[in-house]
Chain A
Amino acid sequence: MSNRLKVAALTAAFALGVGAVPALAQDDVSFELWTKEGEADGSLQWVQKLADDFMAANPNVTISVVQKEVGGSESLRQDFQLQSFAGNPPALLWTVADHIGPFTAADLLLPLDELVDNAAYVPGGVSAMQTPDGTTYGVPINVGNHLMLYYNKDMVAECPADSDALIEAAIANTDAEAGTFGLVYRQDESFWLVPFLGGFGGVVFAEDGVTPTLDTEAMASALKFMNDLEFVHGVMPVEADYQIADDLFKQGKAAMTINGDWTLGSYSELDFEIGVCPIPPMVGGENPKPYVAGNFFMVSKAVADDEALQGAVIDFIKYATSTDVQLAQLETLKRLPSNVEALSAPSITENPLLAGSAAAVQNGIPQPTNLEMRCVFDAMNVGVRANAASADADQVQLAADMQAAAEAGVAPGGECAPE
């Protein structure tokens, strides 16, 4: 009763050769799996299939799959925090890397070093789930989550060589009156700013990994480049959130889009042929550097007291990240596996789309997973949205405002202040 009161107070394409599911412990257990995956690309169905297959092989286990957002309302992060505080959290999360910062800061996750063999997974994926003291709090489901350039081969023959070629190809394919655009991407989220910032030589944090470095010439240049795409070159819609950008590309009304590897599965099934490559290098700059992370399992600390529940949760993680399941996931969702053995399969090395995705990963930089990143994302979001809203946006001032907001968040007393 009191837990409920606390809450009141605070306010898949599937079935492709998935291997046999091992039968496990016999105690009746049930748990919730919260996932950030959605229905549109079949990923939610994939999660549900994994749960169903596991339950079929283990009749004593009941898994309830619950979909939660990580963009927009961020219901997964916020609800997990509140439910944990209320003492009734879901046992298992299937979510993005940046949640590791706030969740470990609040001590909500179960350390997994003694429960899972880290050597079975790609080192970059494992390190993304480790706190500075080396404790591992997550298991990689797939590596990537990186932004890259998708292009409609009916409109753009090959990947533009550099940013000038990108603009040229976008202009050639833009007819705003007919509702077709050369380039679309999500304009209201700073995750899409990060590659361009890197392309102009900027970084989000100083070498210490916690001091924001947003008020820089590189940031102003990146914002100016994005603003020019919209208002000078006119190759983008004036207002495009994720759904609109995604729909325009899927409907063949946008020649190119910048989106994450999570859409590779659905985009490869479109009526037209697509190409995939890294975001082209900036003229006079460098290769854009998207954040690389992936999707991860995280286990609630609340399962530590229930041996049977903890066993079932860990067994499900091992099943979902086993080689056969990871290769089936690759076939279904076109996501690069986190399992070392699966990653070297010919189905990856011989597939041009996956090879393009792998090339984009090479340009990427690991996404910081500390709590400070949360405040810096929030601070950059304000500037990104203001920049996308007006042809008259002052990028130098926006960069300064971002820095001030980020510094306030990580300063002593700020909600993202270091421990």
Chain B
Amino acid sequence: MFDFEAALTALTDVGLTLLVLAIAVVLIEAVLYLVLVRWRKSRMALPFMLLAPGIIAILVLYGYPLLYEFNLSFTKMNIRNFVEPGLLGLTWEGTILEGTPLAAEEDIFVGLQNYIDVFTMPVLRQTSVYQLFLQTIIWTVVNVFFHVLLGIGLALLLNRKMRGRTFYRALLILPWAIPVVASLQIWRTEFNYEFGAVNQLLGLIGLGPVPWMSDPFWNFVAMILTNIWLGVPFMMVITLGGLQAISSEYYEAAEIDGATARQSFSKITLPLLRPVLIPAILLGTFLTFNNINVPFFINAQQLETSDILVSGVYRAGIQYTRFGFGAAFAFVVFGILLLFTIWYVRQTKVLKGAYAS
């Protein structure tokens, strides 16, 4: 039976939250108006006023948690030491107002020990960071390769004139439109050994059954298959947009010059898709590298051989309640992605177009 009272309570809570946010935005804008328009008479008042709520939201929702986590990474906060870590191990909660000196209530500051442990101890029950890194590389490379390959292939097909093109486009974008959690729950069920659709379909062609959930290799394959299904529409839509921006005049000229279809693809299509594909591949790499949804749902038996770095961070920090260690581990993963980004940006000059005058 529908619980109207509970629904009303929930809506009231949401409404109050939105009201508080709206009041906060009005106050911020009022202060900025008084300072920038009335007092400073700044020409930049409007841009600042438009950007201010977004900048403040980013600082609160991203900046503060990042600083908090960075501080946490130098502490041994875990279930035995479940206290407010303070700044670098110093806990002062309650002491400042009482006029007492800044003092450590409980010393949980461990310096760089968590960072050392990430590289010298198993980060999970039996798995080192090096094994997780290798699994993440394989996961990312295989996924992005198939995302790009299938995305370009399907985009080339859909870019041609054919009957039912709109229907096919809608069908292929469907994995993207379904809520990820819902589709992952369905995939997890379909990978069941005895009762899942995947093994039943394999049985029709004389293959299988495959232990998708319990065998380390096949569980990793199941994760990759699921993520390919989820990720191809993104790459296909991006590529399709790029293809439609290429003028048909290039192809007409190439045809007059006697170019083959393969030559047209390699000499016209691919080079002109590059400005679209390179940022898309970078984004796709980050999304795949940081994808916790697929390993979390498809690795239902929590096999450490199916974990990647981000699911390992979740497991180490939250599931195993090693909050300080998990924070250090998270920053190590962040460092790996940062180094990759710098290398990729330099190699591909992907930002050159954006900042060139």
Contacts and interface: CB of A to CB of B under 8 A. Distances in A.
B300 interface: yes
Interface string B161-192: 00000000000000000000000000000001
Contacts, number: 114
A244 B82 contact: no
B195 interface: yes
Contact of B82 (A105, A381, A408): A105
Nearest to A11: B318
Interface string A91-124: 0000000000010011110000000000000000
Contacts of B194: 179, 237-239, 244
Majority SS at the chain A contact face: helix
A81 B82 contact: yes
A5 B64 contact: yes
Interface in A61-113: 72, 74, 78, 81-82, 84-85, 102, 105-108
A17 B291 CA distance: 52
B125 A415 contact: no
B61 A389 contact: no
A238 B211 contact: yes
Nearest to B192: A239
With most chain B CB atoms within 10 A of its CB, the pick from A5, A11, A82, A404 is A11
A379 interface: yes
Given A9-B64, A382-B125, A108 B320 contact: no
Contacts of A82: 318
A382 B214 contact: no
Interface stretch (B131-139, B226-234, B301-309): B301-309
A74 B213 CA distance: 19
Nearest to A101: B79
B247 interface: no
With most chain A CB atoms within 10 A of its CB, the pick from B69, B79, B122, B126 is B79
Nearest to A176: B194
B232 to A, nearest CB: 27
Given A378-B320, A415-B320, A9 B68 contact: yes
Interface in B82-103: 82, 84
Interface string A391-419: 00000000001001100110001011101
B78 interface: yes
Given A5-B60, A389-B214, A389-B216, A78 B318 contact: yes
A415 B60 contact: no
Interface in A170-210: 179, 187-188
A187 B192 CA distance: 13
B65 A8 contact: yes
B211 A102 contact: no
A374 B211 CA distance: 28
A106 B77 CA distance: 10
A168 interface: no
Contacts of B76: 413
Interface string B309-323: 000001001111111
A371 interface: yes
A405 B320 CA distance: 12
A390 interface: yes
A371 B80 contact: yes
Interface string B100-126: 000000000000000000000110011
B193 interface: yes
Interface in A348-368: none
B252 interface: no
Contacts of B320: 375, 378, 409, 415
Contact of A371 (B79, B212, B322): B79
A241 interface: yes
Contact of B125 (A106, A107, A409): A409
Nearest to B196: A239
Contacts of B80: 105-106, 371, 415, 417, 419
Contacts of B303: 385-386
A388 interface: yes
Contacts of A81: 79, 82, 321
A108 B82 contact: yes
25 contacts: A5-B68, A6-B68, A8-B64, A9-B69, A10-B72, A11-B314, A11-B317, A74-B319, A85-B84, A188-B301, A237-B193, A238-B193, A239-B214, A241-B213, A241-B301, A378-B125, A379-B125, A382-B126, A385-B214, A385-B303, A389-B211, A389-B214, A389-B215, A413-B76, A415-B80
Interface of A: 5-6, 8-11, 72, 74, 78, 81-82, 84-85, 102, 105-108, 179, 187-188, 237-239, 241, 244, 371, 375, 378-379, 381-382, 385-386, 388-390, 401, 404-405, 408-409, 413, 415-417, 419
Closest 5 CB pairs of A and B: A106-B82, A389-B214, A239-B193, A9-B65, A405-B125
Interface of B: 60-61, 64-65, 68-69, 72, 76, 78-80, 82, 84, 121-122, 125-126, 192-195, 209, 211-216, 300-304, 314, 317-323, 325
Given A8-B64, A238-B214, 14 more contacts: A8-B61, A9-B69, A9-B72, A10-B69, A11-B318, A81-B321, A106-B82, A239-B192, A241-B213, A389-B216, A390-B214, A404-B126, A405-B122, A415-B79
